Amino acid sequence: MAILGVDLGGTKIAAGLVSAKAEVTHCREVPTLADQGYEVSRGQLDQLIAAMLGPEVEAIGICAPGPLDPISGVVANPPNLPGWRNIALAHETARKYGLPCRVENDANAAALAEARFGAGAGFDPVFYATLSTGIGTGLVSGGKVFHGAHGAAAEGGHVSVDYRSSVVCRCGVRGCIEALASGTAILRRAREAGFSVQNASELAALEDPAAVQLMEETTDMLAAWLGSMMTLFDPGVVVLGGGVTKLGEKLFGPLRRKTPACTLNPNAAGISIVPAALGRECGVVGAAAAFLSF
Ligand SMILES: [Zn+2]
């Protein structure tokens, strides 16, 4: 028995057969020809799925960038997949291949993979965030992704931490944590301050007091935000993934120190903030995970 897990992204489409124990085999990956439009990138996806199918495949799980509705499996209009407008991907895939299919947004899928097989295993609920070009989050409770009433829940990256901020997020809200402390936002703030760095790690390596101050503000904002997440969800663990976590202790140390003061939750000091454990295969495992019992 295996589940075909497919990670549809703006830069690559990855697929693998995922066992009940989350072992991934038969991995394949192609660079997404996203800028050639929907017909081309959809063709790539269908070609990859067809090439991976065999008698052992029982179901197909796909994770894709949001916005999408994980309940209906409709991909709405992701900015990094041009032309994908209101595509009933779960329904169309299920009909085409005669197998059950679910479509989940990439942050929720990564949250599920980490909760079941990664750094969140054994904890409940698990709050997961990927700190990357954007900030994507997911909440896994009772082994399931919390979807809300309409599939739109737990978009924690678009929680505002400053309603008077001069920065308006791409979602239209002022002061979203994504617009202030994602990898992209850290770089933008660094360049506005005159530092020509390529990523957060380069900024954190600088000893200039203004660079130190920028990093301090970044962890202040993230701690204020994570404190609010702890107030809302009382998670068993907080798992952080994505490129910004390459900062290591320069990120995790300040967050562990500062977050308990930013929440009403009396258990906050005991809620571990840990790095994600799964690597590149996280999306493929997460896409398949909704079909795996454990
Ligand atoms: Zn936003």
The label of the residue with tokens 């394949």 reads 28
- Is residue 157 a contact partner of residue 129, using CB atoms and an 8 Å limit? yes
What's the CA-to-centroid distance between 254 and ligand 1, angstroms?
Answer: 24
Question: For residues 151 and 154, what is the distance between their CA atoms, to the nearest angstrom?
Answer: 9
Residue 130, classed as helix, strand or coil, is strand
Give residue 16 CA to ligand 1 midpoint distance, Å. 32
Domain spans of the chain, in order of start: 2-109+280-289, 122-275
Distance 290 CA to ligand 1 centre (A): 27
Distance CA 108, CA 118 (A): 14
242: number of Cβ within 10 Å:
20
Report how far ligand 1's centroid is from the alpha carbon of 165 (Å): 12
Cα-to-centroid distance, 159 and ligand 1 (Å): 7
Q: State in Å: Cα 222 to ligand 1 middle.
A: 14
**Whole-prediction pTM:** 0.94
CA of 179 to the centre of ligand 1 (A): 7
Expressed in angstroms and rounded, the spacing between residue 180 Cα and the centre of ligand 1 is 10
Compute, in angstroms, the gap from residue 160 CA to the centroid of ligand 1.
7
- Match 């990859």 to its residue by tokens: 48
CATH class held by domain 122-275: alpha beta
What confidence score (pLDDT) does residue 293 get? 64
> In this predicted structure, what is the pLDDT of residue 83?
96
d(CA 132, ligand 1 centre) in Å: 14
CB atoms within 10 A of CB 152: 15
What pLDDT shows up at residue 41?
Answer: 97
CB-CB neighbours of 166 under 10 Å? 7
Distance 169 CA to ligand 1 centre (A): 4
Domains 2-109+280-289 and 122-275 share a fold: yes
Task: Give 130: exposed, middle or buried? Use CB within 10 Å, 0-12, 13-18, 19+.
Answer: buried
Kindly report the CATH number that applies to the domain delimited by 2-109+280-289. 3.30.420.40
Whole-angstrom Cα distance, residue 178 to residue 135? Answer: 5
Print pLDDT tens along the chain (294 aa): 899 999 999 999 999 999 999 999 999 999 999 999 999 999 999 999 999 999 999 999 999 998 899 999 999 989 889 999 999 999 999 999 999 999 999 999 999 999 999 999 999 999 999 999 999 999 999 999 999 999 999 999 999 999 999 999 999 999 999 999 999 999 999 999 999 999 999 999 999 999 999 999 999 999 999 999 999 999 999 999 999 999 999 999 999 999 999 999 999 999 999 999 998 899 999 999 989 865
Query: Ligand 1 centre and the CA of 174: distance in Å?
Result: 7
Rounded to the nearest angstrom, the distance between the alpha carbon of 176 and the centre of ligand 1 is 5
Distance 88 CA to ligand 1 centre (A): 25
- Cβ atoms of 156 and 232 closer than 8 Å: no
| pLDDT on residue 169 | 95
